[in-house]
Amino acid sequence: MATEAKKFLGYTKQEWSWVLQDTGNSAYSLMITTTIFPLFYKAVAEGAGIADADSTAYLSYANSIGTFLVGLMAPILGSIAEYKGFRKPMFTVGTVLGIVSVLLMAFSPSGTWTFAWLGLLVLYILSNVGFSSSNIFYDASLLDVTDKKRMSRVSSMGYGMGYIGSCIPFLVYMVFMLNIDSMPFSLDWLTRAAFVMTAVWWFAFTIPYWQNVKQTSWIQPTAHPISDAFKRVANTIKEMAQYKQLFVFLLAYFLYIDGVGTIISMATAVATDLGIDATVLIVVLLIVQIVAFPFTVLYGYLSKRFGDKIMIYVGITTYVIICIYALSMETATDFFILACMVGTAQGGLQALSRSMFGKLVPEGKHNEFFGIYNVFGKFSSIIGTTLLGVITQWTGNSLNGVFALIVLFLIGGALLFGVKEDGTKG
């Protein structure tokens, strides 16, 4: 691992460059996955005569397709990225695919063209594939910029800066949206401009990562890199039997992170089904981002005292309460309370899961094991979004779909109980 002794606000140049990448791609999570795109898509689908429950289900299925594709590719991508000089180019391919797909959303067909909603979903799937695949290499590079003692702190700061940093383009959009009646352009034009702004923001904050984060561990390329990568993936899967703690952790993670990801990606669509005004919804989600920043950093700080596992349980318990509370949600105030609860747990749970896994990974297996880690994360999202979609269509109420996610947190938490933490605390 290559780090510099000189630090700024307690972090090295490499650590800050890694953290800022989270600031960049988190704009995608907020603007595209959570808020603006779902609202835009729902409006287009409504104009095409698609029922609310159906359009929500289709968006849920689109999330499932994107994560399924990445889940299939993740082990091989992670294995290939172990080769010297491969990690950053592959990270770049995923990042560029995501950025370009978001840019193209700005030029999607206008009006009530019947299949405009379908074209948007295709672009959303492509952007999801780019975003998620680039994160395979991003997550693995945490081990390139810091050591295991600082891993929880750096990982939490990445998520925290992602939350607070992504608020800036969101705030710009919101200021114009709240005053749209006095603006010389339409809400449709503003939304398309927001897609462009998201892509530019993502690109700009990726530049320090490209410049300063270096791959510090690798294997030499072989004569047959692709076929050899498949062989190494097979060997890695076999080796999982030797790392029981790591394997059980992945099973637990597979389940509880499923619920987290589904709630993130479907919150806006569910709120729209409840009839919550778009302006109120966007203000609430902005507040959630602001709440998430200090709580994510707090999780990292408390993990130094209590350990990653205890703090992960705090997050899981919060989400169990969220699922139960969702059943009684009727008003914008209810949604605000639920959203703030999500903000207190979301980032910390994600960050400490990443760092706890990193501490369990054997030396020299960073990319390969993080590829498996992302497979578990991505395939779990398929189950969660599909479960929510099916229950929503079956009952005609998306809140029932949210409540159904509780089983994922309960079983995931039970499995985590048997995992022993690495002795090093970050």
Quote the pLDDT of residue 423.
38
- pLDDT band for 366, please (50, 70, 90 cuts): low
pLDDT reading at 303 higher than 60: yes
- CATH homologous superfamily of 11-215+225-416 equals MFS general substrate transporter like domains (1.20.1250.20)
Quote the pLDDT of residue 284.
82
pLDDT reading at 416 higher than 90: yes
User: Do residues 426 and 149 make contact, with C-beta atoms less than 8 angstroms apart?
Assistant: yes
Residue showing tokens 């295709």: 122
pLDDT reading at 49 higher than 60: yes
In angstroms, the CA 338 to CA 271 distance is: 11
- pLDDT band for 380, please (50, 70, 90 cuts): low
- pLDDT band for 225, please (50, 70, 90 cuts): low
Highest mean pLDDT of the ranges 187-191, 201-205, 214-218, 231-235: 201-205
Quote the pLDDT of residue 4.
47
In angstroms, the CA 78 to CA 87 distance is: 8
Please state, for a pLDDT cut of 90, what percent of the chain lies above it: 28
Pick the range with the lowest mean pLDDT from 143-152, 186-195, 292-301, 395-404: 143-152
In angstroms, the CA 216 to CA 403 distance is: 44
- pLDDT band for 192, please (50, 70, 90 cuts): very high
Quote the pLDDT of residue 230.
72
Cα–Cα distances in angstroms (integers) from residue 154 to residues 92, 168, 206, 211, 313, in the given order: 22, 22, 17, 19, 20
Residue range 50-59, pLDDT digits in tens: 888 888 888 8
In angstroms, the CA 386 to CA 63 distance is: 9
In angstroms, the CA 241 to CA 213 distance is: 32
pLDDT reading at 131 higher than 90: yes
Highest mean pLDDT of the ranges 49-53, 71-75, 334-338: 334-338
**What is the gyration radius of the CA atoms in the chain, in angstroms?**
21
Residue range 89-128, pLDDT digits in tens: 989 999 999 999 999 999 988 666 667 888 999 999 999 9
Is 11 strand, coil or helix? strand
What residues does 12 pair with on adjacent strands? 7
Say if residue 106 is exposed, middle or buried (CB neighbours under 10 Å; 0-12, 13-18, 19+).
middle
Which is more confidently placed, 32 or 304?
Answer: 32
Per the prediction, the chain carries an average pLDDT of: 84
Cα–Cα distances in angstroms (integers) from residue 420 to residues 104, 345, 390, 417, in the given order: 46, 22, 36, 8
Domain range list for the chain: 11-215+225-416
In angstroms, the CA 99 to CA 131 distance is: 8
Is 219 strand, coil or helix? strand
Q: pTM of the full predicted structure?
A: 0.75
Backbone torsions φ then ψ of 83, nearest 5 degrees: -70, 145
| H/E run at residue 257 | helix 244-273
In angstroms, the CA 279 to CA 282 distance is: 5
Nearest to 268 by CA among 376, 124, 379: 124
